[in-house]
Amino acid sequence: VNVTSDQHGAHTDWLTLNIGGRLFTTTRSTLVSKEPESMLAHMFREKDVWGNKQDQHGAYLIDRSPEYFEPILNYLRHGQLIVNEGINIRGVLEEARFFGIEQLAEQLEVVIKNSQPPEDHSPIS
Amino acid sequence: VNVTSDQHGAHTDWLTLNIGGRLFTTTRSTLVSKEPESMLAHMFREKDVWGNKQDQHGAYLIDRSPEYFEPILNYLRHGQLIVNEGINIRGVLEEARFFGIEQLAEQLEVVIKNSQPPEDHSPIS
Amino acid sequence: VNVTSDQHGAHTDWLTLNIGGRLFTTTRSTLVSKEPESMLAHMFREKDVWGNKQDQHGAYLIDRSPEYFEPILNYLRHGQLIVNEGINIRGVLEEARFFGIEQLAEQLEVVIKNSQPPEDHSPIS
Amino acid sequence: VNVTSDQHGAHTDWLTLNIGGRLFTTTRSTLVSKEPESMLAHMFREKDVWGNKQDQHGAYLIDRSPEYFEPILNYLRHGQLIVNEGINIRGVLEEARFFGIEQLAEQLEVVIKNSQPPEDHSPIS
Amino acid sequence: VNVTSDQHGAHTDWLTLNIGGRLFTTTRSTLVSKEPESMLAHMFREKDVWGNKQDQHGAYLIDRSPEYFEPILNYLRHGQLIVNEGINIRGVLEEARFFGIEQLAEQLEVVIKNSQPPEDHSPIS
């Protein structure tokens, strides 16, 4: 019942993710198309196959950080890695790895490596 | 039933956008008047013509970043590009392009070009 | 029915503003007393005279930026202009002008003028 | 009916404050015990004596800034003044004064005095 | 009724914490497994044994700071301490101590010690 036609005429359906308590609304095609081999794509490729648990409003429950998921969802929407100043890139990397989005994880590792001075070994940057 | 007269005596109606899970309440005239040739204006010019999908509360679903949409909506409200420190301008540019707000996209490209040192080629700034 | 006595024994009533989708709860006296000649004061001086549109929960709809309205409401509460680091003052100024809070707008213009280096003509600061 | 035993075996009850539209859930003992002579403690010492107005969900309405109240509530919870970078300390001071939390107000005044260069007289810091 | 199988085939159940008014959704195993000797693990190890108070939507009430709890929950999810720029580490330390997560508290103390210049004795950093 939640299926609609998107701007290119294809059929898609909308779903809401409950990531650690915050809601993200997106389409199945965003989660599945950009990185088809990721765990996230596998979780949502087939409707109700993976057995994702839903909350009482129908949002799919994922026990991860909402804050660091945000740039990941944007990356799946338009293919660009865009992170605000002050957001810890290592947090985004943890989520990219968890969701198995390999190409993004590699890109994030490069950014982290380039932004660290060689002598810095502190646990948080 | 949601039609009311605005401060200038004209008739307008209120609508709520569900952008990636966050709600923005605005008027149809804000979305349509400032940049009448944008895709956003086309989406909302005629009531229920474009076939925008609505969530269960009647908000129009758009699968994009809420954070970077905020300065775009403010631009449509008062014509000024105003972005907080720490917000990545490239994120705003992605949204301006998606919604087809050409004049704003050009303005954002100038800002990005001017703020980048010539030797910087990092993927995120 | 929403009338109660405030801490000084006077009668006041509570109302909620829906500014661009975010809710602000305050009292009529805060909106009306500090700057009685502002447009905001006129909008809320007399109950249901101005014809403000309400959302389905009774909050008054205003098609403006919630983020930049926050310091304006605090100013009306205690008379001080207090803005967090990273918040663009020009955004606050746009709202002060829209709501016709003249004294605050002038104060903001002085702050902007003092914070800009003379040679800076960039569209966003 | 909302009474429960806390981790030390004492009885306490939970309440929610609606500060300017944002909800804060805490216990009566947090509001009353740390600074027993403050106005805030007086407001909530005796159940339903002060006559605080409640919203439709039972949260107590207070017409103040939610953002600057947050470190004040944390102070009442554990006795430490902890403020994030970028939060204007003067905003926290305004709230400490309003709620009559004198010891915290004095501490904030010292912090402000120490952080200002002697020649700075700008209205916002 | 809220029990489901997680990605590794084990059974887990989802719960929501109401920390100071903000909701965090997570699994019991996240709260219990990473730091089994912490107070937080003890609070949620056995269903309904500790006597945690729930709000009207079934979320477990905890009278602490939501902002500083966020990195703690992420730590329990993936074992990394990741904090955004601008977040006061001392706030995170207060929560780690309250919830009895000793290993994390020690890690935070090292970070604080390393980030403070020797001559700095200011109450907020």
Interface probe for B, chosen from C17, C24, C52, C53 (most Cβ of B below 10 Å), is C53
The model's pLDDT over E68-99, given as tens digits with 9 standing for 90+, comes to 999 999 999 999 999 998 899 999 999 999 99
Q: Which residues of C touch D (CB under 8 A)?
A: 4-5, 14, 16, 22-27, 30, 70, 73-74, 77-78, 80-86, 107, 110-111, 114
Contacts of C114 in chain D (CB under 8 A): 122
Size of interface C-D (CB pairs under 8 A): 64
Nearest to E62 by CA among D3, D27, D61: D27
Angle at the Cα of B67 (from B53 to D82), degrees rounded to 5?
A: 140
Query: Which range, A1-10, A112-121, C10-19, C35-44, is most confident?
Result: C35-44
What share of chain D has pLDDT > 90, as a percent?
72
User: Residue C47 pLDDT > 90, yes or no?
Assistant: no
User: What is the pLDDT at residue D47?
Assistant: 75
Torsion angle of the four alpha carbons A125, E67, E114, A117, in this order, in degrees rounded to the nearest 10:
10
Interface probe for C, chosen from B4, B29, B74 (most Cβ of C below 10 Å), is B74
* pLDDT grade for C7, boundaries at 50, 70 and 90: very low
- Across the interface, do C26 and D20 touch by the CB < 8 Å criterion? yes
Residue A95: burial class (beta carbons within 10 Å; 0-12, 13-18, 19+): buried
Separation between Cα atoms, residue A98 and residue E7, nearest integer Å: 11
Q: Which residue has the higher pLDDT, E6 or E47?
A: E47
Look up tokens 């304006």; give the residue: C72
Averaged pLDDT for residues D32-53:
88
Between B18, B61, B123, which is nearest A107 by CB?
Answer: B123
User: Residue B87 pLDDT > 80, yes or no?
Assistant: yes
Between A63, A86, A91, which is nearest E30 by CB?
Answer: A63
Averaged pLDDT for residues E40-55:
85
User: Residue B4 pLDDT > 70, yes or no?
Assistant: no
User: What is the pLDDT at residue B46?
Assistant: 81
Contacts of B85 in chain C (CB under 8 A): 85-88
Nearest to A27 by CA among A96, A77, A65, A80: A77
Between E21, E86, E122, which is nearest D23 by CB?
Answer: E21
Separation between Cα atoms, residue D123 and residue B27, nearest integer Å: 35
Separation between Cα atoms, residue C52 and residue B123, nearest integer Å: 46
- Side-chain-side CA neighbours of E91 within 13 Å: the count stands at 26
Instruction: Quote the radius of gyration of chain D (alpha carbons, Å).
Output: 16
Separation between Cα atoms, residue B31 and residue D64, nearest integer Å: 32
Torsion angle of the four alpha carbons C38, C44, C45, C50, in this order, in degrees rounded to the nearest 10:
100
User: Residue D66 pLDDT > 60, yes or no?
Assistant: yes
Instruction: Kindly identify which residue of chain B lies nearest to residue A23, measuring between CA atoms.
Output: B21
Residues C96, C104: contact at Cβ < 8 Å?
yes
User: What is the pLDDT at residue A2?
Assistant: 42
Averaged pLDDT for residues A87-102:
97
Mean pLDDT, chain B, as a whole number?
86
Between A63, A67, A98, which is nearest E27 by CB?
Answer: A63
Give the gap in angstroms from C-alpha B6 to the nearest C-alpha of chain C.
9
Between E53, E90, E94, which is nearest D14 by CB?
Answer: E53
Give the gap in angstroms from C-alpha E53 to the nearest C-alpha of chain D.
7
- Across the interface, do C122 and B114 touch by the CB < 8 Å criterion? yes
User: Residue B10 pLDDT > 70, yes or no?
Assistant: no
Separation between Cα atoms, residue A100 and residue A39, nearest integer Å: 5
Mean pLDDT, chain D, as a whole number?
86
User: What is the pLDDT at residue D49?
Assistant: 67
Separation between Cα atoms, residue B82 and residue B84, nearest integer Å: 7
Pairing of strands D11-19, D22-27: antiparallel
The model's pLDDT over D94-123, given as tens digits with 9 standing for 90+, comes to 999 999 999 999 999 999 999 876 655 555
User: What is the pLDDT at residue B49?
Assistant: 67
- Across the interface, do E63 and D5 touch by the CB < 8 Å criterion? no
Give the gap in angstroms from C-alpha C85 to the nearest C-alpha of chain B.
8
Separation between Cα atoms, residue B1 and residue B111, nearest integer Å: 42
* pLDDT grade for E7, boundaries at 50, 70 and 90: very low
What share of chain E has pLDDT > 70, as a percent?
82
Residues E104, E72: contact at Cβ < 8 Å?
yes
User: What is the pLDDT at residue A3?
Assistant: 41
User: Residue C21 pLDDT > 50, yes or no?
Assistant: yes
| Least confident interval from A6-20, A89-103, D87-101 | A6-20
User: Residue B5 pLDDT > 50, yes or no?
Assistant: no
Mean pLDDT, chain C, as a whole number?
86
User: What is the pLDDT at residue B116?
Assistant: 77
Instruction: Quote the radius of gyration of chain E (alpha carbons, Å).
Output: 16
Averaged pLDDT for residues C99-119:
90
User: What is the pLDDT at residue C122?
Assistant: 52
Averaged pLDDT for residues D36-52:
86
Separation between Cα atoms, residue E21 and residue C99, nearest integer Å: 31
Q: How far is CA E34 from CA C77, D122, E3, E72, E75, in A?
A: 46, 49, 20, 11, 9
Q: Which residue has the higher pLDDT, B92 or C9?
A: B92
Instruction: Kindly identify which residue of chain D lies nearest to residue E88, measuring between CA atoms.
Output: D84
Residues A32, A75: contact at Cβ < 8 Å?
no
User: Residue A51 pLDDT > 80, yes or no?
Assistant: no
DSSP letter (8 states) at residue E79: S
Averaged pLDDT for residues C52-61:
91
User: Residue A118 pLDDT > 70, yes or no?
Assistant: no
Torsion angle of the four alpha carbons A97, A101, A107, A110, in this order, in degrees rounded to the nearest 10:
20
pTM, 2 dp: 0.81
Separation between Cα atoms, residue D99 and residue D120, nearest integer Å: 28
Contacts of A85 in chain B (CB under 8 A): 85-88
Question: How far does Cα B95 stand from its chain's mean position?
Answer: 7
Chains that touch A (3 or more CB pairs under 8 A): B, E
Instruction: Kindly identify which residue of chain B lies nearest to residue C95, measuring between CA atoms.
Output: B78
User: Residue B2 pLDDT > 80, yes or no?
Assistant: no
ipTM of the complex: 0.78
Residues C85, D86: contact at Cβ < 8 Å?
yes
User: What is the pLDDT at residue C52?
Assistant: 85
User: What is the pLDDT at residue D71?
Assistant: 97
Q: Which residues of E touch D (CB under 8 A)?
A: 18, 20-21, 51, 53, 55, 61, 63-65, 67-68, 85-88, 90-91, 94, 98, 122-124
Separation between Cα atoms, residue C52 and residue C62, nearest integer Å: 8
Contacts of B5 in chain C (CB under 8 A): 51
Q: How many C-beta neighbours within 10 Å does residue B13 have?
A: 14
- Across the interface, do E83 and A18 touch by the CB < 8 Å criterion? no
